[in-house]
Structure 1
Amino acid sequence: MSDKPILPTLLITALATAVGVGAIFHFNAVSQYQAEIVSLNEQLGEAKQAVENAKFMDDLIGDLTIVEPQPGEPGGAPDNWIFGARTARFTLIEMSDTECPYCREHFPFVKELVETSGGHINAALMHVPAHGEPSRNQAIAIECAGELGGSDAAWKYAGLVFEKTQSNGKGVAQSLASLATEIGLNNKAFSACLDSPEVVDKVRTDLEQAVKLGVQQTPSTLVLDNETGNSMVLQGSSANRDTILQTMSQLAKSKEVAQ
């Protein structure tokens, strides 16, 4: 996986400063992306309700989903900000919402698992902003942190948002740009990035991938074996230490059986 920049953001005040036809087009483009993200969130909510009504995924096996590798994309893994050794055998793709209280608890656990793995595990960020505008804005801001400071900045910024947020869609009291300053990013460049349609598009793409994977809960973790491209999705409480390690063992054994 590469450490290239990836995301987009919501434009709320752009019309006030827009000049000319080009600026108006820019505003309309971002507004369209914003509407698409809202639509995808609705799809995610409908899917979640359907699963709850059917009482699906009542045990661990129900929460494990084999993900077929996509062309040019081993295991369907997104090219997102990587925490940990890039040579790691396994990647934990964290499908998370910074306004989700459970994600807030899960985030430091994932970092600890990577840090104590001896270089065998790394992690990537994948946005599932299901708690409305605060979630979407924070996802965009994390992407901008990555754009300006790489993976290290993206993970530091995400951790800071989890630390500062009131959760459940209540958001962060201070401005997102001021959080960027706290981790040493340029305030002016960060604010400009928040108006980038490309960053908004990246958040939208993350959400689309989560919908395609059938994600019903946050946090969810896609465990990817980088050697074979095989992967499994663990949702909600199933994304715990024991199950993640068991899944890695299962993925490794699947290669042995194939041989």
Structure 2
Amino acid sequence: MKKHLLFLVFISIITIAQGQSTLTNGQVYDFDIGDTLQIRYNTPWNSQVPYKYETRVVLSKTITTNSDSIIYTIKSTFYTPPSTFSTSVITSTITNLSAIAPLYNNTSPCMGMLLDTMYFNSCGILVYKKYPGPSVSCTSQPFQQNTYLMKGLGGPYFDYFAVAGPPPENYYKIELIYYSKNIGTCGSLITTTKDVEKNDEFYIYPNPSTGRFTIKNASVIDQLIKLFDLTGKLLLEQTTKGEITIDATYLKAGIYNLQIKNLGAVLNKKLIITH
């Protein structure tokens, strides 16, 4: 059954699976023929270039005679909204299946100061995560911050991936937003501009309200929420993702503009407050 849930969202209690403290290559890159993943590549914060979406479908799987390597043939399709597609067939070889899966492809002064954890995300997938400790200041280039591997879903995925130049203009996200495997389906597959708009859409309820209302959106990335009166005066500003309840009962009855902004779009909806 399809789960319309968000990826990389913490559950309230972090659960360690059977005492595991990391994941092996064989666990992370365990795919079957027909498995489908979609990855979203976010553009820099100061860019108007749209997201890119890569859909990967496993076409074949070959296990070597010593059972220590797997060769996958994968169909990779990149979609850049509104209508640009490019497709190729690639070969990926996973070796040392029993070895610990690496998270980093570069050297960084922050690597020795990172913490790690394992938990089940909201789709029920075991995730291994590395993240900076509270006193870490990662300013040298390049570095990855909040990096993830997922059991049976590959990686690494990044909350922010700095490539060059001063932050935050250079920050990217590499996110898994959809999968379909024998264990089930989770997320929303993006193949059209309507899918993009639907994924960015948000809902307000109740509306009208007495000033206490809930905002729910389907995006997996951070959203900047702003509330304006009809003169354009900013009354409230907050960052969130997923679902949040806001108490604005202190505001006068009237019509307000609620704006939600992420890296790809700015959406506006009318909010009505009554007393």
Question: TM (normalized to structure 1)?
Answer: 0.23
Kindly indicate whether structure 1 or structure 2 has the higher relative contact order, using CA contacts under 8 Å at least 6 residues apart.
1
Question: TM (normalized to structure 2)?
Answer: 0.22
Which one has the bigger strand percentage?
2
